[in-house]
Chain A
Amino acid sequence: MTAKSVPPTPANWRALLAARPVRNAAAAAEETDDGGVRIGVRKADAWWRRAPWKWAVPGGDLRYTVLDRLGRELWEICDGRTVEEIVEEMARRHRLTFHESRTAVTPLLRELIRRGALAIALSPPNDQVNIR
């Protein structure tokens, strides 16, 4: 119709919103002075992290991710809720629209997953009943 009319973007976020990020149970979290959190995640196993090599290679066994106050809030509500529920909760707390909250929350979730602080739960939580 218009000269450069393009088909609408097929993007939808259903699968993303249904995902359930959960905190890595092995991660060590400690509060920082500014109200944020420092999350320590064990690094992947490698030969240079074993004795005797590790005595010569600098760096500890944990990789740390530091989050500010907002990041800490997000980290704390990753308790088995879906991404959609997390986005809604952050939107409610900070008076954002759904998509404002989504565009703030999802890159941080992605980064925390990449760093091993969060994982995506594949099974439904215990209280979910599937009616067949």
Chain B
Amino acid sequence: MNGALWIWRNFRFLLPGDWELLQFTRRPGEGRCAWADRCAFRLEFVWRAVPGPPDFDRMMGDYAAKLETEGARKLRRERRDAWHGIAAEQGGRPISRFGAYFDRESCVVELVFPWPEERSPALERAVLAAVREEPPDAAGRRRWRAFGLDLRVDGRLDLAECRVAPGSAEFRFADERGRRIVRCRRLGLRPFWMKTGVADWVRGQTRDWRAARETSERREGHEVFRREGDAPTGFLERALRGRKCAGMEAWICPADDRLYAREWRGPAPFAEDEGRRGALGCAGCGGLGA
């Protein structure tokens, strides 16, 4: 399958190119995502962190019984490699569900395929075979890839916010106390709102930073503008925690004409590390690879 790569909550998926992520949850413990083609939902990804591998035989039996009481018909147990599945008809449509346990993430994952018409075993097999855990890299950075953003961020940060609107996507990662923050954005529809160049846009976004240093470089066909400095802090915060360093880099990807921006804030060692090793890439052109 010549598909698109998605990475969410440390799981990677290879899905048909016209499937888009329309629903998502940020919580790492338990949540769901749903992808749709242009007409209907096609795949649901449900996860739940568990202390150890579950008893799949019993779980599938209970699950089949539950589906039967919910009106599912023609239930059939199936197996695809590590995936335990149940195929059924629900509401007059075929639906197949597969579950598996992933050791590294200590997580039970369920994939639900609500088929619009006929079930496609080949597509189902291809999607299941491509599901993998995405381990952190050697520096402990986690990769996320969705909504045209491909990024690597410090593994100690959680996804605190994800905002998606037409022509705009934003991920904000933060630690528990909100002291370390990484924010990645991808903004489209530029002719309607962007009246300046990238450098001026970055300066406008970081107007209150002090002791700012600016650099500009060409990276893989992208003109990247970077600004680093001290983010404003209150007197007490500065006295207790020291400087809050910040940085931002931005560029326009020629492939999709969108503005990409990555911003980080935190104590000096964090900001230095994030500035040096953090990465944001354009999923569209595959450039500035994360």
Chain A contacts to B: CB under 8 angstroms: 1-14, 17, 69-70, 84, 94-104
Q: Residue on B with the closest CB to A98? A: B38
Q: Is the CB of A2 within 8 A of B99?
A: yes
Contact of B34 among A1, A8, A12, A17 (CB under 8 A): A8
In the complex, A102→B188 CA distance in Å?
15
With A69-B192, A100-B166: A8-B112 Cβ-Cβ less than 8 Å: yes
Pick the residue among B36, B59, B97, B192 that contacts A99 (CB under 8 A): B36
- Select which of B46, B167, B258 is within 8 A of A2 by beta carbon: B46
Residues of B with Cβ closer than 8 Å to A?
18, 20, 22-23, 30, 32, 34, 36, 38-41, 44, 46-48, 59-60, 63, 70, 90-91, 95, 97, 99, 108-110, 112, 114, 116, 165-167, 188-189, 192, 256-258
Contacts of A7 in B (CB 8 A): 70, 90, 95, 112
Docked CA distance A4–B46 (Å): 9
Q: How many A-B residue pairs have CB under 8 A?
A: 88
Bound CA span A101–B167, Å: 8
Q: Jot down 17 A-B pairs with beta carbons below 8 A, ordered by A.
A: A2-B46, A2-B99, A2-B108, A3-B30, A5-B46, A8-B95, A10-B41, A13-B39, A17-B38, A70-B189, A84-B38, A96-B166, A99-B20, A99-B22, A100-B167, A100-B188, A103-B165
Known A1-B108, A14-B40, A104-B166; contact A97-B60, beta-carbon cutoff 8 A:
no
Specify which chain B residues have a CB less than 8 angstroms from the CB of A99 in the assembled complex: 20, 22, 36, 38
Complex-state Cα separation, A111 to B95, whole angstroms: 35
Complex CA distance for A102 and B23, rounded to whole angstroms: 15
Nearest to A2 among chain B residues (CB) is B48
Given A98-B20, A99-B22, A9–B192 Cβ distance below 8 Å?
no
CA A6 to CA B287, docked complex, whole Å: 38
Contacts A2-B99, A17-B38 given; 20 further ones with Cβ under 8 A? A2-B48, A2-B109, A3-B30, A4-B48, A5-B112, A8-B95, A10-B114, A12-B40, A69-B192, A70-B189, A84-B38, A94-B189, A95-B188, A96-B166, A96-B167, A97-B20, A98-B18, A99-B22, A100-B167, A101-B166
CB A12 to nearest CB in B, in angstroms, measures 3
* Chain A residues, CB < 8 A from B114: 8, 10
**Chain B interface SS verdict (over half):** strand
Q: Is the Cβ of B40 less than 8 Å from the Cβ of A1? A: no
Q: Are B22 and A2 in contact (CB-based, < 8 A)? A: no
A1 to B101 alpha-carbon distance, docked (Å): 11
CB distance from B117 to the nearest CB of A (A): 11
Q: Is the pair A1, B188 in contact by a Cβ cutoff of 8 Å?
A: no
8 closest pairs, A vs B, by CB? A12-B40, A104-B166, A1-B99, A8-B114, A2-B48, A1-B110, A100-B166, A99-B20
Residues of A within 8 A of B59 (CB): 1
Given that A3-B48, A104-B167 are known contacts, is A14 also in contact with B39, CB under 8 Å in the complex?
yes
Q: In the bound complex, do residue B166 and residue A95 qualify as a contact, i.e. CB atoms below 8 Å apart?
A: no
Residues in B whose Cβ lies below 8 Å from that of A14: 39-40
| A103–B167 alpha-carbon span in the complex (Å) | 10
- Evaluate contact between B188 and A12: CB separation under 8 angstroms: no
In whole angstroms, how far apart are the Cα atoms of A85 and B60 in the complex?
Answer: 43
Residue of A nearest to B168 (CB): A100
Which chain B positions have C-beta within 8 A of A100?
A: 166-167, 188
Which of chain B's residues has its CB closest to A3's CB?
B48
B91 close to A8 (CB less than 8 A): no
Distance A14 CA – B44 CA, assembled complex (angstroms)? 19
CB nearest to A14 among chain B residues: B39
Query: Contacts of A95 on B, CB cut-off 8 Å?
Result: 188, 256-258
